[in-house]
Each structure stands twice: as C-alpha cells, then as structure tokens.
Amino acid sequence: MAPMQIEIVSGEAALAARAADIICGAAHTKPDALIGLPTGNTPLATYAELTRRAASGACDVRAATVYAIDEFAGATRATPGTNSVFYRQHLRVPFRAVHIPNPGAGDPGEHIRAFADAIRRAGGLDLCVLGIGVNGHIAFNEPGSAAAAPARVVELTAASREAHAEAFGALANVPAHGLTLGVADLLAAKAILVMAQGGGKASMVRAAIEGPQTADVPSSWLQRHHDVTWLLDEAAAGQLSRR
C-alpha cells in the first residue's frame, strides 16, 4: 500500500490552488471523470478557484460529473442550509452534471441507496474530495460509523447540527437526519483528497492520520485507502507528530 500523502501549505489561497490542481488534474487525466465533492466552509475558496480556472480556460471539467457526498433529509431542494442550495450557490463550475441526493425523497433510505448504486454503475468515483467534521466525520458518517458502513440515512449528532445552525437560520431548523454515502462508498473511490484548515481541526486531523483506525473517528478509516492525499494548512497540521 502506498503511504498516505500529507501536503502542508500556507494559507487558504494556497490550499485552494493545490486542491484545484488535483481536481483539474483528475479531469485532465480522464475528461469524463466522476468526482465526489463535499460542502462546508473548507472547499469554498477551492470552488471559487475552479470557477476562475474554468472561465479562463485553464481547467476543463465540462465532461466530468460531480456527485454530492451527502445531503440533509427532511427538507426541500430550496431550503436554505441544504447541500442542494450550497452547491447551486458555491459550485458555479461548468461540470457536465452535478448530482445531489434529494433532501425531500419520500423514502430516504431507498433514495440514498439508489444514489450510491448509480455511482457504482457509472464506474465509481475517480476522485472523492472530503472535508472533515469537528467530530471526525466524513460526509455524514458520524462517530460510530464502521469502515463497511453503506450509503444510508443517519441521525445527525448535536455537533453537526450546531455547525449548520447558522445556514438554516436556527438550530431548530436543522434536520435531525442526513443522507450520506457510506464510509465503504468513499473508500471505493480510486483516489481521495481530504482537505482541512484551521486549528479547530488539528486534533481530529492528528487522530485521523496517526491514531488507531476506529469507528470513533470515521476519518481514521481513510488510513486503509491506497491513494489518499491530506491537504492541510499549517494550523490544521499543527498537532501532527510526523511532518
């Protein structure tokens, strides 16, 4: 197994530029690449950079397809705070298509299983980009998620709901459940890029990279993938013992 790559850069612009290099690189190598993308604050500058590069012709993703890695359950595609609204607002990049689970699906469990099946049938993700939650989650695989966890409906933790309170207008508006690709679906991607910035993520980054593989820290399961790159700013890398 190849060792995991750890890249440490200074500042948000450098993080965004490097992430954009990797995403554009995947689409350059394979124009019709399937790419999993996260929401959150971390990738915002990256998505802005991709928009600029696509507009200038420096990056061509027009044949690549995006799959959102998670969504809330029990809302509509127009509910502020949902990932559906997030991607419409922030991912203004001319991909061939951006597929997002439907937060209003009548049978959410069946819906997210079919979503993951569609990715498998299309050949699987060539690149999956991830952020990590303050509690170590990846997509909405909250602590307690096994390495074999499939795509499913999950109950969101208090920490995750609080992190989205502002986007939904109030904590009470944040859905109790999420739809997520499972840890197993994320690990099935051919390559993984994990982004983290800020000192608030430092202890989780250390636990994920240097700690034991455990369901308590779902991002620690990434240690068993053969092609994972951690892209960190100095603060997020601040607690790593090996640099």
The residues carrying an active-site annotation are: 70, 135, 137, 142
Among 81, 103, 131, 136, binds ligand GLP (CB under 6 A): 131
Segment near ligand GLP (CB under 6 A); pick from 33-41, 47-55, 222-230, 234-242 = 33-41
Segment near ligand GLP (CB under 6 A); pick from 32-40, 51-59, 185-193, 231-239 = 32-40
Lay out the sheet containing 228-233: strands in order across.
Answer: 5-9, 228-233, 192-196, 127-130, 34-37, 65-68, 97-99
- Establish if 211 lies at the interface with ligand GLP (CB under 6 A): no
> Pairing state of beta strands 177-180 and 152-155?
antiparallel
Asked if 167 contacts 81 with a C-beta cutoff of 8 angstroms, the reply is yes
- Establish if 233 lies at the interface with ligand GLP (CB under 6 A): no
Segment near ligand GLP (CB under 6 A); pick from 28-36, 105-113, 126-134, 167-175 = 126-134
CA distance 83 to 90: 10
> Can you give the binding site for ligand GLP, defined by CB under 6 A?
38-42, 69-70, 131-133, 139-140, 160, 163
